[in-house]
Each structure stands twice: as C-alpha cells, then as structure tokens.
Structure 1
Amino acid sequence: MQLTVEISSYPLADDYLTPIKGFIEQLNQYPSIMVLTNTLSTQMFGEYDEVMQALQDCIKWSFEKYGKVIFVCKFLHGDLRP
C-alpha cells in the first residue's frame, strides 16, 4: 500500500533551522522513499511500512539530538506525488 505524508516541524529552540535541516537530511537517508521539501512542509511518498519506519526512526533521532520538537503530520492513503 502506498502512503503520502506531509510533515511540518517546529523545534522549540532559537536556532530552529538546524533541527529542521537535520531532520530532512535523516529522511533523505532512505533511498526507497521520495522526499520533497518546500518552504512550508516536507512530503514523503512510498510504501506504507517503509515510510512509517523512516518517520519513527527520524522523529526519535530528532528528539534525541535536538530535544523538544513539535511534528505535525498529515497521512493520506495513496501516492500523491506532483
């Protein structure tokens, strides 16, 4: 099953760009997942289990590395790549 996820990240830190960029770099380590980033959010496209595992790993990594970060995610069944 294909999955599309839209993610917005809000680090609770003065230097908020570093955690956002780090999170996106971690997502891009998964070659089977398509990651598109724009100024408002990041979209992920791929097989459900692979996308969810990448999200779980990268969110955990972000919390461990940067502390408090808010993630807002939208999930949609299917592949909605532009």
Structure 2
Amino acid sequence: MPLQASIDISMYPLQDQYCQPILDFIESLEKRPDIRIARNAMSTQIFGDYRTLMAALTDDIETVLADQPKTVFVLKLLGTDRSEADIERCGD
C-alpha cells in the first residue's frame, strides 16, 4: 500500500491584498480529485498518497512563487492519513 500522509499548510503572501492568492491556491488544490482537503481559519490540511500530495504541492507552490515570490509557506507533514482521526485534547 502506498504511503499515506497528512500535510498542514499555512500560506502568507507578503502583500496588502493577501486573501485572494490564498483562496486561489486552495481552489487549485481542490480541483485535484485524488486529494482530500479540510479548511479552517488558520490553515488548510490535505490528505492522501504521499507522492500525490507532494507532486500537487510542488506544482501549485511553484505557480504561486512564480507570480508572487514574496510568499511564505509553512508545511507540517505527518506520515499517516489523519483525515478521519478524532482530536484528543490535553486534559480531557
């Protein structure tokens, strides 16, 4: 079975009009049928086959950086699919 992964992505365009580039990036990821996506106010998570996720990020991040090179991406990667995981909270 291929390696599954979960990736948490935060994108920070260093410009005044920062919302639309973020929405465009997420929309590009959402067009990929082989990636599961979860959005929240702070970041976007993608889940699926590791190689598929990394190929998508390579393409989509390169597109963003070619247009807006002053954009920061922060990625957190886990080597398992956590899309269906229950969140455990400290102290609960």
TM-score, normalised by the number of residues in structure 1: 0.95
Measured in 1, the distance between the counterparts of 2:35 and 2:68 equals 24
Q: Deviations over 1:8-38 (max 9, x none)?
A: 0000110000110011011112110001111
Residue 50 (1) aligns with residue 48 (2):
no
Going by fraction, where is strand more abundant, 1 or 2? 1
Could you tell me which residue of structure 2 aligns to residue 10 of structure 1?
12
Measured in 2, the distance between the counterparts of 1:43 and 1:21 equals 14
Measured in 2, the distance between the counterparts of 1:65 and 1:35 equals 24
Paired residues in the alignment total 82
Measured in 2, the distance between the counterparts of 1:3 and 1:58 equals 18
* Secondary structure of 1:45 counterpart: strand
TM-score, normalised by the number of residues in structure 2: 0.85
Please give the root-mean-square deviation of Cα atoms over the aligned residues, in Å. Answer: 0.9
Percent identity over the alignment?
Answer: 41
* Secondary structure of 1:75 counterpart: strand
Q: Which structure would you say has the larger Rg? A: 2
Moved over 6 A (4+): none
* Secondary structure of 2:41 counterpart: coil
Which AA in structure 2 matches 1:7?
Answer: I
